Chains A and B, each alone.
Chain A
Amino acid sequence: MRTMSETQIYSLRVNGKLREVTDAWLGESLLYVLRERLGLPGSKGACEQGECGSCTVVMDGAAVCSCLVLAASAVGADITTIEGLTDGALTDVQQAFIDEGAVQCGFCTPGLIVAVHHLLDNTPKPSEMEVKEALSGNICRCTGYGRIFAAVTRVIDQRAQQ
């Protein structure tokens, strides 16, 4: 059993590396810790309630809202953020988002990219409705989703051909 008091140091496994969190207030969300303490501002906060998906990360294989994870309780979990999806080259999902015009302001984009990767990792050939349902927790205010669906379809088709 782990016990931590107000500002102890703890470590989180993020993008394959063990990262130390120091001097943190224990009430901080994982989103806050990623952005403000671990230098990983790719995940975005737009609601702090789990209603927009901008903060989506993968934790122990599940796509969750990092704003709803108490950071210190995620000790021992395997966390992947947008920054951890690739070592440098764009993934096929990222490239498809660019190619299909699925990015406008870009604020929802990291959360969506993580959610799409998670979907396709678990369901390689989702139907149109399965895609929409899987992304129903990611709000986009700019695109109206049309180009986003086109990007996901492109990746599904590309991967099916490989």
Chain B
Amino acid sequence: MSIHIPTSLDDALALLHELPQVQLLAGGTDFMVEVNFNKHDVHDVVALRRVTELQQWHHDETTNTVTIGAGVVYAEMEHGELATLFPALAEAARTVGSPQIRAAGTLGGNLGTCSPAGDGLPVLFALDAVVNLASHRGTRSLPIGEFMLGPKRNALAQDELVVSISMKTNSGWQGYAKVGTRNAMVISVASASLVLDTVSGTARIALGSVGPTIIRCTQAEQWLQTHYDISARKDLDEAIATEFGLRVSQESRPIDDHRSTAQYRRHAVGVLAKRLLQRGCVQ
């Protein structure tokens, strides 16, 4: 059993290649819970907190693409320039755990864990994020829908790690909402992120905690695009908003568990979708 603290991406990738059973450690907010609860034996841990390439983000204004390093913590996404570029991500980040968790938890960690309840993930899906991976063999990028395969299952190869995610900024509006039975520090019972792009006239809506993975409601999106002028975002009819909510909820695949019932979750995402749309179209 050993712990390694690389300071460069190349060193990290070399370790992933050399060691047989690597456990990647970013903020520890998932990994350490499992260690503390004896769900993992600890083998070879590669701690990523000093890998500088992972802690940065940059905005390529020529392509309108923002690339956020997998090690950027949620607290950084809540304020400042990143929050201005991606308000929905800032809203989602604000709901992650507690302030202490937000100071340590990372997008890369959330992607690694790949839980459908991961708070930032619906936003990434609604923004058609691309996940950038690297191994000693090179780099590759996957659309997020091809990266997240199922509950706690992702497309990472054994020697790969998530370097960053890339998303295009959008002109229009974006928002996020999450249902929990307490006013802070709560695992999502149902969540949704809506992105309205006025340039392309499109809507993208993604749901969390209501399926084995994050659900993009492509049918509801198409319906909305044909029944409402998203580019103008004017005079949203209550009936349109209600119907949109209904269609979104029909695309959800929630289950019963100790946190909530399928019936409630299905109802809740419909309400969230409607309200997000109304919020997005307020003049």
- A→B interface (CB under 8 Å): 1-6, 26-27, 29, 48-51, 53, 56, 62-65, 67-70, 72-73, 75-76, 115, 133-134, 136-138
B99 near A136: Cβ-Cβ < 8 Å: yes
Q: A27-B35, A27-B42 are in contact. Are A73 and B5 (CB under 8 A)?
A: yes
- State the 3 A-B residue pairs at the shortest beta-carbon distance, nearest first: A137-B98, A136-B184, A73-B47
Distance between Cα atoms of A3 and B19 in the complex (Å): 12
Looking at the assembled complex, report how far the CB atom of A61 sits from the nearest CB atom of chain B, in whole angstroms: 9
Distance between Cα atoms of A29 and B101 in the complex (Å): 15
Looking at the assembled complex, report how far the CB atom of B32 sits from the nearest CB atom of chain A, in whole angstroms: 4
Contacts of B185 in A (CB 8 A): 51, 136-137
A3 near B4: Cβ-Cβ < 8 Å: yes
Contacts of B25 in A (CB 8 A): 70, 73
Interface size on B, residues (CB 8 A): 35
Q: A53-B98, A63-B100, A137-B101 are in contact. Are A4 and B36 (CB under 8 A)?
A: no
B97 near A4: Cβ-Cβ < 8 Å: no
Minimal Cβ-Cβ distance residue in B for A134: B99
Minimal Cβ-Cβ distance residue in B for A4: B3
Contacts of B179 in A (CB 8 A): none
Contacts of B5 in A (CB 8 A): 1-3, 73, 75-76
Distance between Cα atoms of A68 and B184 in the complex (Å): 19
A26 near B2: Cβ-Cβ < 8 Å: yes
Q: A51-B185, A65-B104, A69-B28 are in contact. Are A133 and B99 (CB under 8 A)?
A: yes
Looking at the assembled complex, report how far the CB atom of A12 sits from the nearest CB atom of chain B, in whole angstroms: 13
Contacts of A27 in B (CB 8 A): 1, 35, 42
Minimal Cβ-Cβ distance residue in B for A73: B47
A68 near B33: Cβ-Cβ < 8 Å: yes
